[in-house]
Amino acid sequence: MPICMIKILEGRSVEKKRRLIESVSHAMADSLEMPVDRVRVVIEEIPLECWGRGGKTVADRVAEGSAALPKP
């Protein structure tokens, strides 16, 4: 049973996460030539203040206007 672990910034809608799980599950099942119901997908949402890029947190970048929030 393959497991795909995906880390994303928090803030996306439940519907977007459902679509992500569905599309990743089908891609893995097709690639591995196995039934889709054997594929597992785990989404870990990371708070904006716990994700950094270029020495700053995403929360700080959003506050200063140099980054945008994920679209819900």
Q: CA 25 to CA 31: how far, in whole Å?
A: 10
Angle made by CA atoms 44, 45, 48, in degrees to the nearest 5: 145
**Catalytically active residues, by annotation:** 2
- Rounded to whole angstroms, the Cα distance separating 36 from 23 reads 10
